[in-house]
């Protein structure tokens, strides 16, 4: 079955007759489920073996789906980078894999999702001739009855999810640009689904970025223009452009290159780096622009303004009300990280970090002049100049910032807020949302003590059937998290447990661990601060950068990484996002673990022991 295809539009489709969906960049897929499951690409090629996790998920829920079979759904196989963007590069790599072992490894470690946006057959009845709005209503009902997600959930193990349909273009477009998504597909409410047809009843409007570049060559055989930006005064090729020129523009450009060529061979006319143009594109992939289109000539620019640095800064669109000041300001020295690099880190890490900031009063440490040699200060109160989208919560007379959205996060980044510290509970919680053990060795050289303590605690937690997660502090220690269900336990409850574990560590190795609060009495032992886990206290958030010269991050770890080879320097701003792309998110199941946590039996045992004393 050949899918219906949208037509590219450079004008926003507006009007009551349109509905809007996020456009994901993955593999277009038709799911047909009769007696067997068949997942096929837009060209009719089977996708089942490339993405076995999707078929396995469907088969494991066959009882739920059986009343709706035979069933045909239209969608996209994606690897979600955030709710509005698929990771194009990684899903392409998955699609090229041929090793069963490698496919199995990746499908287990980083499963793809099948995002569904249309219903073509339900209980054997052809739905494609019905109008879009009726198909959508029945599709939503199908997802509700099967208990599947009605919106994108990147860490969910329910691998078939619904692409929401919206009536407000502007609000959806703001989120797509903010989260660096590919674009939007606009669909007419009265449109039927037409197999194999590219139609103007569906229009794709893409989130193009813009780069100012120079033309370096003209390819004779196909009319492509090679484009580049300057790095250290040398041209760096970023691809070719063919589309977007008016006939007279293309003709004038060719004649200019021909008359002023530097040299010529059988394939190319080579141009002097003198002609500046602006090109719109989707993203940089494997060193070249994806879907480049000529936008306009830049006669106002000299070639030396078309720099690689400027290109990097322009790679992601920001909303109009987010202005990045002094993007070239260096914040760290080694590795060199400029302000725009830092903003891009926050943007990329936001899907993983924002859930930990959500609904929690925030204390940040700001470094207005950069980390190296710059003075820092704590900020709790929302400043008067904060924009309206910054939410707050008053607690103990302090008007705290609550970072519940990406705009606030990027605004804080522009304020050069480097460290993000949060309490152990949300603004809606009556007690702790988690237990955290902060394993703080006496010095960076004593990091092995934190590793030893973490492994001892892990042994206890495993024996008690408690689900735990671990991260670096980003400075010199480790922090173990035990997620708890909301509003179920008090700090008095958790104190019983943290003290129990602290005493266990000391009894296991009194020469290595202590609960002595006075530093002068600790010697070279690691301080187990079980009292720190209490109301009003804070801890650095997962994925938060730290204000030290090494640009390290409070990095979530997989437990099998915690051994004598572990080092803090492996987890820096410059490597964190790539680490998640390669290995996955160690805290992916953190929030789902809350309801599975068997803490109550442990607490009841400790209370029983306490009553005997």
C-alpha pair distances (Å), 538 with each of 362, 376, 535, 575: 9, 18, 8, 26
Contact 241, 262 (CB under 8 A): no
Which candidate, 609, 558, 602, places its Cα nearest to that of 454? 558
Backbone φ and ψ for 81, nearest 5 degrees, come out as -85, -30
Q: How far apart are CA 553 and CA 576, in angstroms?
A: 8
Which candidate, 363, 590, 385, 344, places its Cα nearest to that of 479? 590
Backbone φ and ψ for 242, nearest 5 degrees, come out as -130, -40
DSSP conformation letters of 199-231? EEEEEEEE--EEEEEEEEEEETTT--EEEEEEE
Q: How far apart are CA 465 and CA 283, in angstroms?
A: 45
Q: How far apart are CA 489 and CA 63, in angstroms?
A: 37
Q: How far apart are CA 454 and CA 435, in angstroms?
A: 14
* Residues paired with 448 in a beta bridge: none
C-alpha pair distances (Å), 17 with each of 13, 20, 191: 10, 10, 10
Which candidate, 518, 499, 442, places its Cα nearest to that of 476? 442
By DSSP bridging, strand 513-514 and strand 526-528 are parallel
Tally of residues, the chain:
613
Secondary structure letter of residue 568 according to DSSP: G
Question: Residue 41: in which H helix or E strand, if any?
Answer: strand 37-41
From 2, 23, 109, 520, the catalytic residue: 23
Q: How far apart are CA 285 and CA 244, in angstroms?
A: 20
Q: Catalytic site residue 612?
A: no
Contact 392, 379 (CB under 8 A): no
Q: How far apart are CA 524 and CA 512, in angstroms?
A: 7
Backbone φ and ψ for 177, nearest 5 degrees, come out as -70, -40
Beta strands in 311-423 (DSSP E): 330-332, 337-338, 361-366, 377-379, 391-395, 398-402, 417-423
Q: How far apart are CA 276 and CA 215, in angstroms?
A: 7
Question: Residue 571: in which H helix or E strand, if any?
Answer: none
Q: How far apart are CA 149 and CA 160, in angstroms?
A: 8
* Residues paired with 557 in a beta bridge: 470
Contact 137, 122 (CB under 8 A): no
Q: How far apart are CA 94 and CA 52, in angstroms?
A: 11
Catalytic residue ranges: 23
């Amino acid at each position: 079955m050949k899918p219906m295809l949208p037509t590219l539009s450079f004008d926003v489709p507006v009007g009551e007759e349109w509905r809007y969906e996020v456009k994901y960049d993955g593999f277009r897929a038709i799911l047909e489920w009769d007696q067997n499951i068949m997942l096929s690409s837009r060209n009719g090629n089977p996708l089942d073996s490339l993405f076995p996790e999707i078929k396995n998920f469907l088969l494991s829920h066959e009882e739920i789906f059986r009343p709706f079979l035979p069933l045909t759904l239209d969608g996209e196989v994606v690897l979600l980078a955030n709710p509005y963007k698929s990771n194009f590069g990684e899903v392409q790599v998955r699609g090229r894999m041929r090793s069963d072992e490698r496919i199995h490894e990746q499908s287990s470690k980083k499963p793809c999702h099948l995002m569904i946006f249309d219903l073509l057959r339900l209980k054997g009845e052809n739905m494609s001739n019905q109008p879009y709005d009726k198909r959508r209503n029945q599709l939503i009902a199908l997802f509700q009855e099967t208990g599947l997600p009605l919106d994108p959930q990147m860490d969910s193990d329910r691998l078939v999810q619904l692409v929401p349909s919206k009536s407000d273009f502007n609000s959806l477009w703001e989120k797509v640009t903010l989260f660096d998504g590919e674009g939007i597909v606009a669909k007419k409410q009265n449109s039927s689904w037409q197999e194999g047809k590219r139609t103007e009843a569906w229009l794709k409007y893409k989130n193009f970025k813009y780069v100012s570049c120079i033309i370096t060559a003209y390819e004779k055989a196909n009319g492509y223009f090679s484009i580049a930006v300057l790095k250290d005064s040398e041209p760096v090729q970023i691809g070719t452009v063919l589309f977007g020129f008016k006939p007279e523009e293309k003709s004038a450009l060719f004649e200019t290159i021909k008359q002023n060529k530097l040299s010529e061979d059988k394939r190319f006319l080579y141009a002097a780096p003198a002609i500046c143009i602006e090109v719109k594109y989707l993203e940089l992939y494997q060193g070249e622009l994806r879907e480049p289109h000529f936008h306009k000539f830049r006669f106002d620019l000299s070639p030396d303004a078309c720099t690689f640095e400027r290109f990097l800064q322009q790679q992601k669109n920001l909303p109009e009300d987010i202005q990045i000041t002094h993007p070239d300001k260096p914040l760290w020295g080694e590795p060199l990280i400029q302000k725009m690099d830092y903003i891009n880190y926050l943007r990329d890490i936001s899907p993983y970090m924002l859930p930990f900031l959500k609904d929690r009063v925030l204390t940040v440490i700001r470094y207005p002049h950069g980390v190296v040699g710059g003075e820092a200060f704590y900020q709790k109160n929302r400043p008067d100049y904060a924009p309206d989208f910054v939410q707050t919560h008053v607690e103990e007379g302090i008007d705290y910032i609550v970072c519940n959205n990406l705009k606030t996060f990027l605004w804080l980044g522009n304020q050069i807020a480097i460290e993000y510290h949060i309490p152990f509970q949300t603004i809606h919680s009556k007690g702790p949302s988690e237990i955290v053990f902060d394993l703080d060795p006496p010095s960076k050289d004593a990091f092995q003590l934190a590793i030893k303590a973490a492994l001892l605690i892990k042994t206890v937690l495993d024996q008690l059937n408690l689900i735990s997660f671990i991260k670096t502090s980003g400075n010199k220690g480790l922090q173990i998290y035990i997620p708890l269900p909301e509003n179920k336990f008090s700090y008095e409850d958790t104190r019983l447990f943290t003290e129990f574990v602290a005493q266990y560590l000391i009894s296991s190795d009194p020469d290595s661990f202590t609960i002595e609060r006075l530093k002068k009495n600790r010697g070279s032992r690691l301080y187990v601060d079980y009292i720190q886990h209490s109301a009003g206290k804070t801890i650095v958030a997962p994925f938060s950068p730290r204000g030290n010269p090494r640009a390290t991050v409070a990095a979530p770890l997989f437990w099998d990484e915690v051994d004598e080879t572990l080092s803090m320097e492996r987890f820096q701003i410059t490597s964190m996002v790539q680490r998640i792309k390669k290995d996955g998110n160690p805290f992916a199941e953190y929030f789902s673990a809350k309801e599975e946590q068997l803490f109550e039996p442990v607490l009841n045992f400790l209370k029983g022991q306490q009553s005997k004393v």
